[in-house]
Amino acid sequence: MAAPDAPAAARPRPRPAAPRGRPPRKSSTSAAMLLIAPSIVFMTLLFGWPMVSGVLQAFGGPEGLTTANFSRMAQDPYFWSSVGNTLLLIVVMIPIQFVLALAMALLIRAKPRGSSVYFYIWAIPLAVSDLAAGLVWLTVFTDRGYLNSVLASVGMEPVSWLAYDNYASMFMAVLIAEVWRATSLVFVIVVAGLQSIPKDYEEAASVFGAGFWDRLFHVTLPLLRPSLQTALILRTILAFQTFAVALALTGQNFPLVVGETYRWYTGLQDANVASALALVVMAVSMVTAIGYLKLLRDQSEAPR
Amino acid sequence: MSHATTNKTTSPESRPQPEVDRRPLARQRRNRILLQVGCVLITLFMALPIYLIALSATSSRAALQEFPLSFIPNNFSLETMETFLQSTGILGGLINSIQVGIFTLLLSLIIGVPAGYAVARFAFPGRDPYQLFLLFTRALPIVVLSVPLAQLFLQTGLYDSILAVVLLHTALALPTTILITSSVFLGVPRDVEEAARIFGCSPVQAFLKVVMPMAIPGIAAASIFTFVMSWNEVLGASILTLNQRTLPAQVLSSLAESPLAYRFAGGFLLVVPALIFIFFMRRYLTNMWGSTIR
């Protein structure tokens, strides 16, 4: 391809201060502007406008700007437990998902017999919503569900997995449902990343006597860094938005932050506090994404 | 493997054959078996829950009351699904969901395909900030948009309409559509387009007659992706509507007071499209995720 801009376009994350060497042609510039204009107008209307009014709403009250919405939010008994639950879920879930997804991607790369069928089945949860995932696992964890049926048939006492006073098993149920649903996304990203790594590197390492783990940690994983970084940021931001899986499995017993927003808006009908909660979710997501980028970039630019 | 072949070539014929080292072969076979065991275990984890929800949704109400539950489909019945589909708001929600999905898909293609083409073909000033802007909007949580949008739609009279949900879903899908279509257009060689121009096509003709046919499969994949996103999105749809619920919003809002059979049937109906979509998209999945989100 003769296009000098192709490499930059293939990697849409631009360096901030890269000066463009070529003077842009006039006609193509105006054509391009014409082509992207509708999207800019649309996005400004549907992202910019609500963002501004969301901030105003979060700080808005009957008499001018106030932080009362935030203090009402923080005083709600469910708020801090929802924050704690969300963070705990993310901290436990993300490592499990990455190890599992990496293992799945390596299994697929080894080309077992029937690998296309495996790939299909493992990718299905990618298109399952968190509400549906919660309902799917409800068949397993509900009191007269399949898990207790198994226990009963081997002569053990059934357990109320989703009961209010059984926090550990409730957490496990939500965790398993989320691992089931969202590992596929990481899996597909990692498979795509593995496909872009030439086999030569690993073969070379193998010739020089590197074992499986050596090759994994010193060849494959470093080369996979961009994919893993993408997956990590995307997955964490999406994980903050999880809520329906917990609602479907436990009702209000396992509150998550976005679920609280939903409750404040639909149940308690207080749009101001809901906006305040939404701002908290956004702030945390942004800080996490930037934090990851900084952390991972610093490491990748360290001398090798 | 290379080890074994060098062994063979170096051994002269006169001497007795050295014993063949079977260990690598045995190890290879053991690895193949372990590989299959791993794959089967993960497949069980991924597929068993889907089987169980399908089983629950196609069992009669009486069979769902039994305990312990049977893992074998021995009393197939459409009773549960029928009751669910006849509940208030479900059929309407299903129709709304399909409508919202299709309109979202069309709107995001109409706005997204030209933008994706521009990003792929032109080096215009501001392209990098534009792409950064797209990535940023992708990272915004849905909840941040939904609550203020509900207020804005209330003021403008769009609240509780299909259009409201379509607008929100298009805003959510548009960044992805632009990034995917731009990578699709990057895959169409520029030479082909230039050849069409030389033979007398206008830029628009060259695009419609030459570039689009080559880009259609990738754009179809992007469309399916958009539809899936819209089909699955529940939070925004619940906040923006009251009577014109989409299917997931309807299921979510009646979750607390509905019987288990209703929830199982709802879960199954929500999962079925995933089985179909992923089947058609499976070849495109890695391309889409590999090239677009980095």
What percentage of chain A has pLDDT greater than the value 90?
Answer: 21
Largest CA distance in chain B: 97
- If you count residue pairs, one on A and one on B, with CB atoms under 8 Å apart, how many are there? 326
B235 and A282 within 8 Å at the Cβ level: the answer is no
Searching chain A, which residue's CA lies closest to the CA of residue B136? A286
A127 touches chain B (CB under 8 A): yes
Q: Do A152 and B68 touch (CB under 8 A)?
A: yes
For chain A, what are the domain ranges? 68-297
- Quick one: A68-297 is in which CATH superfamily? MetI-like (1.10.3720.10)
Alpha helical stretches, state H, chain A = 6-10, 26-43, 49-58, 68-75, 77-109, 115-123, 130-141, 146-153, 167-195, 199-207, 212-215, 221-240, 244-250, 257-262, 271-301
CA distance A96 to chain B (A): 14
CA distance A267 to A246: 16
Spell out which residues of chain B touch residue A266, defining contact as CB-CB under 8 Å: 238-239, 253
For residue B239, which residues of chain A lie inside 8 Å, CB to CB? 262, 265-266
- Contact: A132, B279; criterion CB under 8 Å: no
Residue A300 has pLDDT above 70, yes or no: no
pLDDT confidence of residue A26: 55
Residue B159, classed as helix, strand or coil, is: coil
Give the separation between CA A243 and CA A251, rounded to whole angstroms: 10
pLDDT at A4: 38
| Residues in chain A closer than 8 A to B146 (CB atoms) | 278
Name which of B124, B167, B289 is nearest A189 (Cβ-Cβ).
B289
Closest CB from B32, B183, B252 relative to A247: B252
Q: Is A253 near chain B, with CB under 8 Å?
A: no
**Chain B contact present for A44, CB below 8 A:** no
Within a 10 A sphere around the Cβ of B187, how many other Cβ atoms? 12
ipTM entry: 0.83
Q: Are A280 and A59 in contact (CB under 8 A)?
A: no
Question: For position B96, what pLDDT does the model report?
Answer: 92
More confident residue, B213 or A28: B213
At residue A10, the pLDDT reads 42
Provide, as residue numbers in chain B, all residues whose Cβ is less than 8 Å from the Cβ of A248: 252, 255, 263, 267
Across the interface, do B293 and A189 touch by the CB < 8 Å criterion?
A: yes
Q: How high is the pLDDT of residue B107?
A: 95
Mean pLDDT in residue range A13-26: 45
pLDDT value, residue B81: 87
Please tell me which of the candidates A1, A29, A243 has its beta carbon nearest to residue B125. A29
DSSP A127: G
Measured between beta carbons, the chain A residues lying within 8 angstroms of B65 are 144
* Closest-CA distance of chain B to residue A203, Å: 12
**Partner-chain contact B270 A131, CB within 8 Å:** yes
Contact list in A for residue B52 (CB cut-off 8 A) is 136, 139-140, 146
Q: Is the dihedral of CA B286, B249, A77, A67 positive or negative?
A: positive
Confidence of residue A18 (pLDDT cuts 50, 70, 90): very low
Please answer yes or no on whether A144 and B43 come within 8 Å at the CB atom: no
* Mean pLDDT for all residues in chain A: 82
Helix or strand or coil: residue B60? coil
A26 touches chain B (CB under 8 A): no
pLDDT digits (tens, 9 = 90+) for A81-133: 899 999 999 999 999 999 999 999 999 988 888 888 999 999 999 889 989 99
Q: Inspect the interface and report whether the beta carbons of A152 and B117 lie closer than 8 Å.
A: no
Q: Looking at chain A, how many residues does it have?
A: 304
Structure-token pair, residue A143: 């009191």
Give pLDDT tens digits for A225-257: 888 888 888 888 888 888 899 999 988 888 888
Residue A298 has pLDDT above 70, yes or no: no
Specify the pLDDT at position A121.
93
Q: b/e string for B120-146 if b means 16 or more Cβ within 10 A?
A: bbbbbeebbebbebbbebbbbbbbbbb
Using CB atoms within 10 A of its CB, is residue B89 exposed (0-12), middle (13-18) or buried (19+)?
A: middle
pLDDT at A141: 92
- Cβ–Cβ below 8 Å for A3 and B190: yes
What is the C-alpha separation between B289 and A228, in angstroms, rounded?
12
Phi, psi of B59 (to 5 degrees): -105, 155
Chain B residues lying within 8 Å of A289, measured CB to CB? 139
Answer yes or no: do B235 and A241 touch at CB < 8 A.
yes
A-chain residue closest to B269, CA distance: A132
Query: Residue A90: its pLDDT value, please?
Result: 92
SS3 B59: strand
pLDDT of residue A88: 93
The pLDDT of residue B2: 44
| Closest alpha carbon to A234 in B176, B285, B222, B139 | B139
DSSP states along A30-83: HHHHHHHHHHHHHHIIIIIHHHHHHHHHHTEETTEE-SHHHHHHHHSHHHHHHH
pLDDT tens, chain B, 294 aa long: 444 444 444 445 556 677 778 888 888 888 889 999 999 999 999 999 999 999 988 888 777 877 788 888 877 888 888 888 888 888 988 999 999 999 999 999 999 999 999 988 888 888 888 888 887 777 777 888 888 888 888 888 888 888 999 999 999 899 888 988 888 888 888 888 888 888 888 888 888 888 888 888 888 888 888 998 899 998 889 889 888 899 999 888 888 788 888 899 999 999 998 899 888 888 777 776 654 443
Lowest mean pLDDT among A57-71, A80-94, A181-195, B48-62: A57-71
Q: Do the chains contact at B248 and A43, CB–CB below 8 Å?
A: no
- Please answer yes or no on whether A251 and B256 come within 8 Å at the CB atom: yes
Measured CA to CA, the distance from residue B273 to residue B231 in angstroms comes to 9
Q: Sort out which chain B residues have CB atoms less than 8 A from A43's CB and list them.
A: 133, 137, 171, 174-175
Mutation target to probe the B interface, by most B beta carbons within 10 A, among A41, A139, A175 is: A139
- Whether A304 has a pLDDT exceeding 60, the answer reads no
Higher pLDDT pick, A69 / A187: A187
**How close, in Å, is residue A32 to chain B by CA atoms?**
5
CA atoms of B117 and B186, how far apart (whole Å) = 8
Q: Do residues B36 and A112 touch, judged by C-beta distance below 8 A? A: yes
